[in-house]
Structure 1
Amino acid sequence: MTYLSYGDAIASSIGLNVASQHANARHICIVQNSRTESAYLQAIQELSSSPLNLPETIISEEPENAMREIQGIDFLVVDWRHKELAAAALRNATFGSRGAVVVCRNGIRALRGREFVRRVTLPVTGGIEIAHVAARNRNSGKTEKGKRRWITHVDQRSGEEHVFSI
C-alpha cells in the first residue's frame, strides 16, 4: 500500500505492484484526488515494461479515513515528506494478526509509538526506516493453543539454519 500526491515519483509503486502480483496480494494506493489518480494510473501503464494489472486506488484527501476502510495490512510504505499525511496513515493503519512490515521513506525515527519486533534505519536518500511492527494484540509469542512459535533464520554465508523458540 502506498500514499501518493500529485507529481511524486512512482518507481517504488511500480515495484510494489510487480511484487504484489508475484505474491498474489492486493496493492492499494491512496491518492488525493481524481487528477492524481488518473496521472498515477497513466504513469504506471507508461513506465511498466510488461503489462500489469493496475493497483486499486482509493481517492481521499485525508488518509486516516481511507486507512479505516482497509483491514489486515501486511506491508505499508509511507513517504515522510508528507509528514502529517504519513503520520495519520500510520496512526490509523489496521495491521494483520502477525503485525506488518512498514517502510518510511525520507524520514528517520518516523515510526514512534508502536511496538517493534525488529527495526533498521538506513541513512540513504533522506533516510529509510524499515520495521516489523508488532500486532497490537500480541500474546508474548504464544499461539492461541498456548504453544510457542518457532522462528528460523538461515545464515547466507555459511548456510546454517538457526531455530529459535519464543
Structure 2
Amino acid sequence: MKLIWCPDTASISYIDTVKSCENIQESSVAELISAMAGGWKPQFIVETWYPGPGGGISTSVGLSIASRHTSARHVCIVSDEQTRIEYTEAMQKVLGVSASTPFPEIIVGEAEQLMNGLVGVDFMVVDCRCKDFSKILRFAKLSQRGAVLICKNVTSRSNFGVFRWRNVLNCGSRVVRTAYLPVGKGVDIAHVAASSSNPNSSTKASPSRWVRYIDHQSGEEYILRK
C-alpha cells in the first residue's frame, strides 16, 4: 500500500526519522513516536533512556528530530553518569558530532527530584524497563494544555497495561483516552486532558489531527487521532 503524506510536521518528522534510523534495527517505534510528536506539536518533550540491548536510541533520535521541527525543549533522563556517557556516544554515532539535529539536554538523578524541576511537560516517553518509570509519570509536572504520555517496552513489565494508567499518574490528571499498539515490544499511549483554573469555563474542541503510520516489519497500518 502506498501512502501519500501531506507536508505537515508529523509527516516531516516521520520521514526524517526513517532516514536517520535506516540502519538501526527496530526503528518502527521511533518512527511512530516521532510522527506523534510532530502532530502534537509539543513545547516540552521529556524521555527516559535505558542502556543495554534494545536500549532504543532511535526513539531519542526521532524525538530530537521532532523537537527541531516544533522548536520544543527536549530533555532526556538517565540514571547515572555512566549511562549519560553511553547515551551521548550512542547519539553521536547516529547523528554525528556536528549534526544539525539538536541533542537533548541530559540530566542525571532521582525521579522525584528531577521532575519537580521540569514544569510544563506536554510530551513524555518512558521506558518501562527503567525501575522508576512509574515515579517519573507520577511526579511529572504536566502542561496546562494537556499532554501525550507514552510507555514503550511494556511487555517487559508483567500485567502492565492500559487499565493501569490511572494508578501511575498523579491523582489530579484526567485521562481522556488510551491506546495500546503492538509495535516493537508494546507501546501504551495516554492523552491527559488540559487543566483549567476555572472549572466553569468552556473550551472549544480543537480539530482532530490524524497520523497514519505503517510498521515496516509487520506491514500493518495504524491510524491515530490526536
Same fold (TM > 0.5) = yes
User: Could you tell me how far apart the structure 1 residues matched to 2:128 and 2:210 are?
Assistant: 33
Classify 1:155/1:94 alpha carbon distance in 2 versus 1 (closer, same or farther; 3 Å).
closer
Match of 2:208 among 135, 153, 156: 153
Map of 1:117 onto structure 2 = 176
1:124 is displaced (CA, Å) by 3.0
Asked if 2 retains the 8 angstrom alpha-carbon contact of 1:45 and 1:52, the reply is no
Map of 2:215 onto structure 1 = none
Count of residue pairs the alignment pairs up: 150
Match of 1:15 among 62, 65, 68: 62
Q: Deviations over 1:15-63 (max 9, x none)?
A: 0011101110111001111211122112111112744322101111x22
Q: Deviations over 1:112-166 (max 9, x none)?
A: 24421222111333321111112455756x6xxx35313323689xxxxxxxxxx
Q: Deviations over 1:70-95 (max 9, x none)?
A: 0000100011122x411000000010
User: Could you tell me how far apart the structure 1 residues matched to 2:78 and 2:58 are?
Assistant: 16
Task: Report which of the two has the higher share of helix.
Answer: 2
Residues 1:98 and 2:139 aligned together: no
TM-score (norm 2): 0.59
Percent identical across equivalent pairs?
36
TM-score (norm 1): 0.79
Asked if 2 retains the 8 angstrom alpha-carbon contact of 1:64 and 1:88, the reply is yes
Residues 1:30 and 2:84 aligned together: no
Residue identity opposite 2:64 in structure 1: N
Tell me which structure has the larger Cα radius of gyration.
1
Asked if 1 retains the 8 angstrom alpha-carbon contact of 2:120 and 2:144, the reply is yes
Long gaps (5+) in structure 2: 1-45, 155-160, 168-172, 212-226
- 2:119 is paired with a residue whose SS is coil
User: Could you tell me how far apart the structure 1 residues matched to 2:150 and 2:184 are?
Assistant: 13
- 1:27 is paired with a residue whose SS is strand
Map of 1:131 onto structure 2 = 190
Asked if 2 retains the 8 angstrom alpha-carbon contact of 1:45 and 1:51, the reply is no
User: Could you tell me how far apart the structure 2 residues matched to 1:51 and 1:152 are?
Assistant: 32
